[in-house]
Amino acid sequence: MPARPPAPITCTGLARIHDNGVMALDPLDLTFAPGRTTALIGPSGCGKSTLLRLIAGLDRPTAGEVLIAGLPPARQAAQGAIAMAFQDPSLLPWLTLRRNIALARKLARQPANPGLVDRLIGLVGLEGFHETRPAALSGGMRQRAAIARALVTQPRVLLLDEPFGAVDELTRRQLARDLPPLWQPLGTTTVLVTHSVDEAVLLSDRILVLSPRPARVVADLAVPLPHPRALQVTETPAFRRIAAQALAALAQGVADSPALAAQ
C-alpha cells in the first residue's frame, strides 16, 4: 500500500446549533496534527459526536468550517480518505462479515485485498466468523467488525465514536493495545471519542477534555508514552498521572459550567 499523504484537520470557528435550537458547539478552533491520535473526552451530551460528525462531513456547521488537508470533509470522503466506526455499526444484513468489510474497499474505489480483509478479521478477534451474517453476531462483535471495516481502506482520517462501547472489558483492552499499530504506520490522523479515561490514555497521543455543552476545551493534555503500548503501561506512574489529570479536568469543567451552576 503506497503511503498516503498526511492529513491535518483544522476546525475554525466551528459552531453547530441543532434544528431544535440546541447549541452543541460554541465556536471552536482546533487542529488535529497529521498522523496523531487525539482522544476527545467530556460529559455526556457535550457535543463530542456532533464534532465528529462535522469532521466526517455527515453534518454541516452552523458557522465556521472544517478542512482536512485543505479540503472540505465531503471532498475527502468522496475520495475514500475518511473512515468511521461509530457506536451503532451499520453493517449490511444480507452480506457476510467478509463481504461487509471487503465492500468498504470497493466503495472507496480501491482494489480488492482479501488478505488484508482476513488479517483484520483475525486482529479484531472474529476469526472463524468470516462467512457469518451480522444478525448472528453479538453487539460487541458487530462493533469489532465495524472497526475492521474502517481500517480496511487504510484511511487518511479515522474517526472512532465510542467504538468499543458494547465490547467486554478484557477485549476492549486488547483492542486498545492491538489496533493503534494498524493505523500508526500509515500516518492516519485519528480522532477517538470515548467515555473511558484509561482508553483515552492508552490509545492517544493527545487528550482534549471538553466542558459540558456547548463544548469548549478545558484541558489539552499530551500523552508522551512510547508506542506500541503494552497493557502493563496502565499500571505505570506516568500513565496514572495523565489519567488523573484528565479526570481532574473533567470534574473541573463540570464544576465551572455556567449551565450547571445556574441550576
User: What sign does the dihedral 209-166-139-153 (CA atoms) show?
Assistant: positive
Q: Taking the complex as a whole, how short is the minimal distance between the CB of residue 39 and ligand ATP, in angstroms?
A: 13
Q: Is 211 in the site for ligand ATP (CB under 6 A)?
A: no
Contact present, 142 and 134 (Cβ < 8 Å): yes
Q: Is 22 in the site for ligand ATP (CB under 6 A)?
A: yes
Interface with ligand ATP: number of residues (CB under 6 A): 14
CA 170 to chain centre: 19
Q: Which of 109, 14, 31, 37 is nearest to 68 (CA)?
A: 31
Q: Is 46 in the site for ligand ATP (CB under 6 A)?
A: yes
In the block, cell 479526570 appears at 247
User: What sign does the dihedral 52-57-63-69 (CA atoms) show?
Assistant: positive
Choose which of 213, 218, 229, 243 interacts with ligand ATP (CB under 6 A).
213
Q: Is 44 in the site for ligand ATP (CB under 6 A)?
A: yes
Q: Taking the complex as a whole, how short is the minimal distance between the CB of residue 49 and ligand ATP, in angstroms?
A: 3
Amino acid at 131: E
Which range touches ligand ATP (CB under 6 A), out of 41-49, 115-123, 181-189, 246-254?
41-49
**What x-and-dash track marks residues 114-153 binding ligand ATP by CB under 6 A?**
----------------------------------------
Q: Taking the complex as a whole, how short is the minimal distance between the CB of residue 254 and ligand ATP, in angstroms?
A: 13
Phi, psi values for residue 68, rounded to 5°: -115, 115
CA 74 to chain centre: 18
* Strands of the 63-68 sheet, one edge to the other: 23-32, 9-17, 63-68
Q: Is 49 in the site for ligand ATP (CB under 6 A)?
A: yes
Q: Is 45 in the site for ligand ATP (CB under 6 A)?
A: yes
Binding region for ligand ATP (CB under 6 A): 18-20, 22, 24, 42, 44-50, 213
